[in-house]
Amino acid sequence: MKAIHYINQFFAGIGGEEKADHKPEIREGLVGPSLALNSMLNAEVTHTIICGDNYMGSNTEEAVNTILGFLENKEFDIFIAGPAFQAGRYGVACGTICKAVKEKFNVPVITSMNEENPGVEMFKSDVIIFKGGKSAAKLRNDVKVMADYANKILAGEELGSADEEGYFSRGIRSQVWLKSGKTAAQRGVEMLIKKLNNQPYQTELVIPKQDRIPIAPAIKDLSKANIALVTSGGIVPVDNPDRIQSASATRWGRYDISGTDDLESGVYKTIHAGFDPAAADADPDVVVPVDVMKAYLKEGKIGKLHKYFYSTVGTGTTQAEAARMGKEIVEKLKEDNVDGVILTST
Amino acid sequence: MVKEIEKAGITVVQMCNLIPVAVTVGANRIVPTISIPYPLGDPDTPKEQQWKLRYHRVGVALDALTQDIDEQTVFKVKI
């Protein structure tokens, strides 16, 4: 059995930040942490790949292609990177190269990082990342954890769940025969009994935590509040002056409705490519309810309707683009001290 | 977008049809709409009826902005 190990310029003894632009190289045999890995692994570490963290970060495609090129004529059964501890760029580099090697050569890949390493969030669904220490003081320990798991893979042993093995959950469910032979009904009742007795119990289906935003406070007096309309439904003036894309939008627009009591067909339309536009084109108020907002303004239910409505297209749009556009729109809303927003989505 | 607006401290209510998506994404105040292509008015119904539905649901959304909540909330609509 053969293994190849990836480490950065620092652990190869080449240098620190000043050498972080070091281009990828492959050396026969063992360098730095490879010695420890080789001693614990039931396989021979035949080669060590070294790359500077900045080079990997700034020239990712070239770095990955170079390294994949190194590996093309090599025989290896497993690929191990790091451990990267809390070193952010090193962690991202380990994740990047592990993912690429797995995709190209279809061999098991393993790395290790501390939970604070941004590489965890970026790669944990693609790569087995063991929960590592904060600093190189944990080097031997983190290497051993990876080596133990690698040995199980190489021996074809039964592998446990992410929690049992100690790596970050990849969000994958797999069916297993339980040694206990207990059915789901029995396990469910046992959990319920524990819950009723206030005893600790562990769900079998953990829902990953989401990035939650603190709830904005309630508006105390709506009759004095300034309310704005925002939509991801792609309503624009018929000539689409801001050239907002019909899908995968990167642009947004805002349109003056101070003199408009109703979004009329033929004046406004939708450019959203993700739904049948007939109804929205026939009456754009069904997506951006300007008509009823003007009614609520006249009744005095709201103090002010912000002068513009904001529009983009929410289909195929990446979260990053949506977040950026959201930030840009927020700037405009703040200029007019908007208190509340109705965001309509299609 | 809804998260960026709320992050800035501006109270926001999302009106949408795919409630589970809004919940997963992390919207805190949610008011359901009737469909994706025509969120606030079914074109097969008379104009007056569409207006009534839209007026009602946008009213629920405005009221949602005034309510203190301590968890993600999907507000109930009557029509």
- A92: domain CATH number is 3.40.50.2300
Question: Using the beta-carbon criterion (under 8 Å), do B7 and A215 form an inter-chain contact?
Answer: no
Question: Using the beta-carbon criterion (under 8 Å), do A292 and B38 form an inter-chain contact?
Answer: no
Residue A236 sits at the vertex; the CA angle it makes with A233 and A242, to the nearest 5 degrees, is 110
A280 touching B, CB under 8 A? Answer: yes
Statement to judge: residues A136 and A13 lie in one domain: yes
CB within 8 Å of chain B, chain A residues 286-315: 286-287, 289, 291-293, 295-296, 301-302, 312, 314
Spatial CA neighbour of A7 closest among A76, A59, A77, A85: A85
C-alpha distance from B71 to closest chain A C-alpha (Å): 8
pLDDT, tens only, B16-26: 987 877 886 78
Residue A219 sits at the vertex; the CA angle it makes with A217 and A223, to the nearest 5 degrees, is 175
Indicate the pLDDT class of residue B34, thresholds 50, 70 and 90. Answer: very high
- Residue A208 pLDDT: 63
Statement to judge: residues A238 and A340 lie in one domain: yes
Burial status of residue A164 (CB atoms within 10 A of its CB: 0-12, 13-18, 19 or more): exposed
Minimum Cα–Cα distance from A284: chain B residue: B38
A233 touching B, CB under 8 A? Answer: yes
- Residue A321 pLDDT: 85
Partners of residue B13 in chain A, C-beta under 8 Å? 340-343
A171 occurs within a structural domain: no
Whole-number Å distance between alpha carbons of A75 and A72: 8
Whole-number Å distance between alpha carbons of A230 and A204: 40
Domain count across chain A: 3
Each domain of chain B, given as residue ranges in start order, spans: 2-74
Statement to judge: residues A151 and A276 lie in one domain: no
Statement to judge: residues A156 and A263 lie in one domain: no
Whole-number Å distance between alpha carbons of A307 and A193: 58
Side-chain half-sphere exposure of A120, counting CA atoms within 13 A: 18
Low-confidence ranges of chain A (pLDDT < 50): none
- Residue A209 pLDDT: 62
Partners of residue B15 in chain A, C-beta under 8 Å? 342-345
Question: Using the beta-carbon criterion (under 8 Å), do B37 and A301 form an inter-chain contact?
Answer: no
Amino acid at A147: A
A16 occurs within a structural domain: yes
Q: Which domain holds residue A198?
A: 177-207
Statement to judge: residues A103 and A13 lie in one domain: yes
C-alpha distance from A259 to closest chain B C-alpha (Å): 20
Statement to judge: residues A110 and A30 lie in one domain: yes
User: How many CB atoms are closer than 10 A to CB A207?
Assistant: 7
Minimum Cα–Cα distance from B14: chain A residue: A343
A184 occurs within a structural domain: yes
Statement to judge: residues A121 and A263 lie in one domain: no
Statement to judge: residues A60 and A193 lie in one domain: no
Spatial CA neighbour of A304 closest among A294, A292, A318, A317: A294
Statement to judge: residues A29 and A157 lie in one domain: yes
pLDDT, average across residues B30-43: 94
Phi/psi of residue A88, nearest 5 degrees: -60, -55
Question: Using the beta-carbon criterion (under 8 Å), do A280 and B37 form an inter-chain contact?
Answer: yes
Minimum Cα–Cα distance from A285: chain B residue: B40
Statement to judge: residues A8 and A113 lie in one domain: yes
- Residue A17 pLDDT: 80
Distances (CA, A) of B60 to A252, A256, A319, B20: 27, 25, 28, 19
Q: Shortest CB distance from A344 goes to which of B9, B15, B29?
A: B15
B46 or B22, which is more confident?
Answer: B46
ipTM score of complex = 0.98
Statement to judge: residues A7 and A153 lie in one domain: yes
Statement to judge: residues A183 and A299 lie in one domain: no
A262 touching B, CB under 8 A? Answer: no
